[in-house]
Amino acid sequence: MKFLLPITLVCLSLIGGCATTNQRVLDSGDETQLQKRSYQSRIFETPDKEKVLRAIISTLQDLGFVIDRADLMLGSVSGTKLDGHQIKITVSVRAKGIDRVLVRANAQFNVTPIEDPKHYQDFFASLEKSLFLTANTGE
């Protein structure tokens, strides 16, 4: 009988410690993942993944990034830009059907994700120009 009360209190505290919170660790803000994906991604009408990866590398270098890693097999390019602060970007390319590729960019300012769609629109506009120049100059 003496031990019943302490055992009950210990059990109740253990059960209370197992309560979950509503905090969503992998959720990042008010925007849905679909909204983010819509401005972080573009589809290009070409089956040539390697050509797109080369254009991404050129575009990032034109924008002042130093390429940290490029992997044709994975279809990914990562770069860093140091200009009083650090901007990191990772761009991935994957086939979308037989004649298109999907390009998705993800950038960080220091350790904070860049969520302003304008930055991604500017990157994709530069990438489109690079792909156009490559296709029309035969580089």
Q: Where are the domains of the chain?
A: 31-137
Q: What is the pTM of this model?
A: 0.74
Question: Between the CA of residue 94 and those of 39, 44, 97, 112, what are the distances in Å?
Answer: 17, 11, 9, 25
Do 60 and 89 form a contact (C-beta atoms < 8 A)? yes
- Residue 57 pLDDT exceeds 70: yes
Beta bridge partners of 94: 102
- The whole-chain average pLDDT of the chain stands at 83
Q: No. of H helices and E strands in the chain?
A: 4, 6
Tell whether the model's pLDDT for residue 21 goes beyond 70.
Answer: no
What gap in Å lies between CA 104 and CA 52, rounded to an integer? 12
Q: Which region, left, alpha or beta, applies to residue 3 given φ > 0 means left and ψ of -120 to 50 means alpha?
A: alpha
Name the CATH superfamily, with its identifier, for domain 31-137: Kinase associated domain 1, KA1 (3.30.310.80)
Q: What is the pLDDT of residue 77?
A: 97
